[in-house]
Amino acid sequence: MALLEIIVAPDPRLKKKAVAVERVDASIANFMDDMLATMYDAPGVGLAAPQVGVLKRIIVVDPARDGAPPSPLKMANPEIVWKSDETKQHEEGCLSLPEEYDQVTRPDKIKVRYVDEHNEIRTIYADGLLSVIIQHEMDHLEGTLFVDHISNLKRSMIMRRLTKYKKLEQAAKRHALETV
């Protein structure tokens, strides 16, 4: 198992559309495990392949809260086949937008069809946190971030902060390299 590097916004790689997986073979199943390990390490409740620089339609999620037993889902080619008219607002964050949070409104309940880690087609209903996470991760496959659902003003404030954050991170990395 390997930990992968999570791309931080703004980055053009987070704005691209991911392509379908033809078949979930051993190498894709391994990649799903690496994604899950990376997500738990971060720690986060969801991760999409484009966030680690792989433009494939793969997401991993685990809505289990602290202390609850892990309940990971590994999904290739997820597709929303039904969504409720009823919507719900929820505070979202993203591993690619560290320390940024805002309220996003999405359909409350969804039905999702996907291919699992054994290349089997599955369909699940999701509501609550699981529904939010799946929709958030599926957005990444279209090059959409949660900030694309909020006002321009709030989005540009967040992006400005992240640009500054990345500059500081890069400077810290350079400094660490120079001092070893």
Q: Would you name the residues annotated as active-site residues?
A: 137
Give the nearer residue to Ni ion in terms of CB position, either 28 or 94: 94
Residues 85-124 that bind Ni ion (CB under 5 A): 94
52 binds Ni ion (CB under 5 A): no
Half-sphere exposure of 54 (CA within 13 A, CB side): 19
Give the nearer residue to Ni ion in terms of CB position, either 101 or 119: 101
Give the nearer residue to Ni ion in terms of CB position, either 39 or 94: 94
Q: With contacts defined by CB under 5 A, how many residues of the chain interact with Ni ion?
A: 1
Which residues of the chain form contacts with Ni ion (CB under 5 A)? 94
